[in-house]
Structure 1
Amino acid sequence: MKFNKRKAWQIAAIVVVFVIIDVWKGNTYNFMNVASMLYLSFFILVIAGILFIDRDNYKKFFGTFGIIAATFAVLFVVGGLMSSKLINAKRYANVIGPVKQVNFADLYSSEHTVEMSYVDKDSAILAAEKKIGELDDLSSRFEIDVDEFSQINYQGKMVRVAPFQYTDTLKKYMNFSDGVPYYVMVTTGDGNLNAQAKIVTMDEPMKYYPDAPLQYDLHRHVALHHKFSYLDDWYFEIDDAGHPYWLVQGITKRVGLWGAKDMNNLIIVDAVTGETKKYELDEIPEWVDSVYPTSMLMAQAKDYYTLKGGYINSIMQQKGVMSVDSEEGSYNYVSIDDEIYIFAGVRPIKLDSSSTTGLLFMNRRTGEAMELALPGVSLTSAQMTAVGSIQEKGYTPTTPTLQNVGGFPTYVMSLKDASGVVRGLSYVNYQDYTKSAVGDTSALAEKAYLNVMGSQEGLVPEDVETIEAKVLDVRQVLIDGNTFYLFTVEGHEGIFQAPLILDDRLAFMATGNTIKFTTTATKVTAVESIK
């Protein structure tokens, strides 16, 4: 090997090109990231080629260079085999961790707070875009970054949040030092049928975001501070004070060198100052909701149900092999005790996709999984039932969410018209899709649904109580456009809630009246008399 000035300049040029690409693209290097290792190997081989080339003895050069290249090839082949599902099937299946078995009565009991969203992502985007359209100055310069519309719990309520972005590249670079001073928050839970959007103006703008100019680009910024981390996707979230952050996933591989992607840590980036901090999974702040991405959890669930009997079994005999609904629209999200869960149907691989043998719940913060072994219908089948009920109106049902309605496991869907406005709700029994009902409001839909269920006994026993007592105070309130009466009675704690549609006599109830009613907790289900 002869080293001369020409080779030195060539290697220097290669190094300069490597550094420029490295900084601009925001590359990171980790032995578990096969793409980064292939990229690094390419540059090493180029430099090795320059060092060992001998114009007087090409045969010797090809021999030496061939050995180096073959060594790299063998390493990648061995690494791939070590990481393959063929010889590591059960290790892949175990990445998800223990799958806890739960029953509906426990999961949806009064001991847990379960909240659903009647508003899907499309409706949330529509509400946000309508809000920004009301402000001429904003709509000419900014738009909603719909790719970063995150579902989170904010101060105990389900919301979607998304940052603004400049409408074109020119505006972005002309204002790169000003950053982005807005994000949008859309309330999707709290019993709201239609999305309620609010534009939040920050005291200090966000300077760090995806594809931001120069050093403010999120990926480039994080890569410079965490050069040897295996970085993956990111999410936009706000803390309980409304301050914006980017959550960047730090990845590891659990099988061999490159198999079974899993979370290793979380890098939290202040969107305003750019400050970054890496957290181990057991140190993540309480306000963070999205740690595990949906795609990762779905991949782990698929491996668990497919490979726990071995790789050969997954192809040949398929004993115990199950299928998980992982296509968009076939799964949904629900908030349980202020934590976001994905839930999806599970069924034997040969079973028709309209049915399930159970539901899998996966926690987006902890990655923990729970299986509800209860046969029923799939989310897509429930949607088709809803479509059949409102065919003449042309409404479109949203992706169902599972709720406890009168003790019955029930899919609940919003019904949207062509403009995206929610016009009603559809209730479909999870265990028997022939039992369904629709209504213009949640109270009407629930009343019609419970009439359909008749005297059947639900899976969740309810503490039903009949009370006859004097009314101490009564107030009329509007909840999502519907009239409710909140009242207190003598000898009982709590504030009872009754919708007007339950009984017209509620409109004439006054302090001092004696009312006899049936209630579950504080929810009035029937009024017998008002005197």
Structure 2
Amino acid sequence: MKKVIRRFLVLLWLVAMLSSYWVFLPPLNPLAVGFWMFVLEGLILVFFAVFILAMADSVEGQTGSTFRGRKEVTPLKVADGQNIRRLGGGILLILILLFGLNLLNSRIFRAKSYANVISVKEADFNKDFPETNISTLALLDRASAEKIGDTYLGTIDKVSQFGISNDYRQITIGQQPYRVSPLEYKNFWKWLSNRKDGISYYVKVNQTTGKAELVRLSEPMKYSDSEFLFRDTLRYLRFKYPFTIFGDPSFEVDDEGNPYYVATIYQPKFMLASKDPVGVILLNAATGETKEYALDDIPEWVDRVFSANNVITRVDDYYTYQDGFWNTVFSQTGVKKTTDSYNYISIGSDIYLYTGITSATADSSNLGFILVNMRTREVTNYKLASATESAAMASAEGEVQEKKYRATAPTLAKLNDKAYYIVSLKDDAGLVKSYAAVDAEDYQQVTVNNDIETLISQFTDLDTSVLSGSGSGSPQTDQDIEIIKGVVEQLGSQMISGSTVYYISSSGKIYKVKATEDSTDQLPFLKVGDRFSGELNKNNYLKNFKIEVEKSE
């Protein structure tokens, strides 16, 4: 009887451990906490198995003698008791060691080590922050991209078999910001019917223009997150790299549109604590080919190596623990932190996370903006006294409070050397109904318009038609420039979003000139009868405006 129980328990232990490994896929690496959780699970199961066997031994060893009508049961054997105590002691020792190592390597004892994981370059927003290229202005948030992408599902063959994954990861293709997401099998039975053919489509949504495309692949994806067996991306990579610590694979496409899954490789920074990226594994979703890269060798088309959580945690550590842990508890001298909102912007072919930096008191003002390259984790702090993102969102909502629109996380833009938050305003159905440009330095200055082209054109001389996909968004070339010359016949002015705009009537047309820091000092003294010249831009704005002074004979 005892042998049968022992064999059954061994078989049950093997099934439980294999099932646990299949589901949780821990790395077989002693530097991973998941590995020790897996070991503890096995030891705890062995502990209960030994205890059950010992109890079976005890019952089997009943003496048959009675004491006052009751049978006596033989106590646990010495060897069984020792095994149980050893197993219990081993489990307790591992738990104590894990807790102790975690405590000793926590921010309480190693605050300055955490603060020095990254370095931050200091810069001035007005001088060093790049002027926003409006052709790459990411206006669509994730929720809006999902709504647009879902409308294209009905255009595919076998529409009943597939859905669209909720990944919608922000990347750049070329230099354009997109959110991309693969199709996925709707359930196990749909997968069973279609797994041989694979997944032939993914959706990409342009975040600037809002235009979406359902991309058909020349070679379908055989590896995805919606697979159920060995071609599940995480399981496939775990069996191929059993000792490597890596995160959940995320979907990206290269500049040619080929689908990949990117798994960031991690190593703990302090013993078992504080994982930090050291490289990536790229999985070709069509062929199953994989390749491991160190951080310095990652292909440039890969946009997201570092997660937002890792980036923000490291930035917070840098600004919080420069003077040690206890300073954050008591005096809080020099303690800063990131704000409660962040977003992404595209600069060139890279994705950058930006967020505000505020004081420990967390009021409604920023001390500057942090810009982090999500591929290299290069961090720059651009100093600029400004409103927090939350304050800007509230200000934008206040401009349309009668409509009860809700603001999305703002996009930071630098237009004509000035910082603005560009905020999308949504109705209760989650549809974008309007846009707001909030002056980052004076968030009470808000301009709202239902048309994004018209809104942006009030703050820049660039061609804003690119925001609807019909223009370049770049400054005019020499061949496109039209020089206007004339005489002021009538003159007027008005304030628009904190800037003075002069209206000049000449030869039956009305031209507009916006007063900026670069405007000629003579602009405020412009009067009827003066001669002028300038370059004609959209909406009859004149750029490089000059007042021609008549020379005396």
TM-score by length of 1: 0.79
The residue aligned with 2:216 is 201
Distance in 1, matches of 2:222 and 2:508, equals 54
Is 2:137 aligned against 1:116?
Answer: yes
Give deviations 1:375-408, integer Å, cap 9, x for gaps. 1101111111111222344444332111112221
Matches within 5 A, 1:494-513: 495-496=480-481
Is 2:41 aligned against 1:21?
Answer: no
Distance in 1, matches of 2:393 and 2:348, equals 26
The residue aligned with 2:63 is none
Q: Match of 1:306, as an amino acid? A: T
The residue aligned with 1:400 is 410
Aligned pairs, how many? 480
Q: Which runs of 5+ in 1 are unaligned?
A: 451-461, 465-475, 509-514
Is 2:141 aligned against 1:141?
Answer: no
The residue aligned with 1:33 is 32
Q: CA deviation at 1:157?
A: 0.7
* Residue from 116, 123, 138 that aligns with 1:102: 123
Q: CA deviation at 1:93?
A: 1.6
Distance in 1, matches of 2:47 and 2:409, equals 56
CA contact (8 A) 2:204 2:214 kept: yes
Distance in 2, matches of 1:525 and 1:92, equals 52
The residue aligned with 1:229 is 244
Distance in 1, matches of 2:48 and 2:193, equals 44
* Residue from 65, 68, 81 that aligns with 2:90: 68
Q: Match of 2:311, as an amino acid? A: L
The residue aligned with 1:88 is 110
* Residue from 405, 413, 416 that aligns with 2:423: 413
Matches within 5 A, 1:233-382: 233-255=248-270, 257-326=271-340, 330-352=341-363, 354-382=364-392
Q: CA deviation at 1:526?
A: 4.3
Q: Alpha carbons of 1:494 and 1:79: their partners in 2 closer, same or farther (altered >3 Å)?
A: farther
Q: Match of 1:319, as an amino acid? A: T
Give deviations 1:509-528, integer Å, cap 9, x for gaps. xxxxxx942479xx964497
Q: Secondary structure at the match of 1:231?
A: coil
Q: Match of 2:416, as an amino acid? A: G
Distance in 2, matches of 1:132 and 1:159, equals 18
Give deviations 1:88-135, integer Å, cap 9, x for gaps. 11111222x1111111134334699993211111111111111224x2
Q: Secondary structure at the match of 2:90?
A: helix
Q: Alpha carbons of 1:225 and 1:187: their partners in 2 closer, same or farther (altered >3 Å)?
A: same
Q: Secondary structure at the match of 1:79?
A: helix
* Residue from 75, 99, 110 that aligns with 1:77: 99
Q: Which segment is superposed worse, 440-449 or 363-372?
A: 440-449
Q: Which segment is superposed worse, 121-130 or 6-15?
A: 6-15
CA contact (8 A) 1:477 1:484 kept: yes
Is 2:206 aligned against 1:187?
Answer: yes
Q: Match of 1:19, as an amino acid? A: L
* Residue from 124, 127, 131 that aligns with 2:152: 131
Matches within 5 A, 1:343-492: 343-352=354-363, 354-418=364-428, 420-446=430-456, 448=458, 479-480=466-467
CA contact (8 A) 2:253 2:260 kept: yes
Q: CA deviation at 1:270?
A: 0.9
Q: Secondary structure at the match of 2:315?
A: helix
Q: Secondary structure at the match of 1:61?
A: helix
CA contact (8 A) 1:414 1:424 kept: yes
Distance in 2, matches of 1:136 and 1:268, equals 28
Q: Secondary structure at the match of 2:230?
A: helix
Q: Which runs of 5+ in 2 are unaligned?
A: 55-75, 484-500, 510-531, 547-553
Q: CA deviation at 1:366?
A: 0.7
Q: Alpha carbons of 1:155 and 1:19: their partners in 2 closer, same or farther (altered >3 Å)?
A: same
Distance in 1, matches of 2:204 and 2:506, equals 39
Distance in 1, matches of 2:374 and 2:507, equals 43
CA contact (8 A) 2:43 2:87 kept: no
Give deviations 1:3-27, integer Å, cap 9, x for gaps. x998677546534542343245433
CA contact (8 A) 2:233 2:249 kept: no
The residue aligned with 1:517 is 534
CA contact (8 A) 1:234 1:247 kept: yes
CA contact (8 A) 1:344 1:360 kept: yes
Larger Rg: 2
Give deviations 1:8-66, integer Å, cap 9, x for gaps. 77546534542343245433222232132121133246558878987531443344434
Distance in 2, matches of 1:487 and 1:12, equals 69
Distance in 2, matches of 1:169 and 1:484, equals 45
Q: CA deviation at 1:340?
A: 0.8
Q: Secondary structure at the match of 1:356?
A: strand
Distance in 1, matches of 2:203 and 2:266, equals 29
CA contact (8 A) 1:129 1:144 kept: yes
Distance in 2, matches of 1:483 and 1:389, equals 29
Distance in 2, matches of 1:414 and 1:268, equals 34
CA contact (8 A) 1:517 1:524 kept: no
Give deviations 1:337-394, integer Å, cap 9, x for gaps. 3211111111111142x21111111211111211112111011111111112223444
CA contact (8 A) 2:129 2:382 kept: no
Q: Alpha carbons of 1:79 and 1:282: their partners in 2 closer, same or farther (altered >3 Å)?
A: same
The alignment yields a C-alpha RMSD, in angstroms, of 3.8
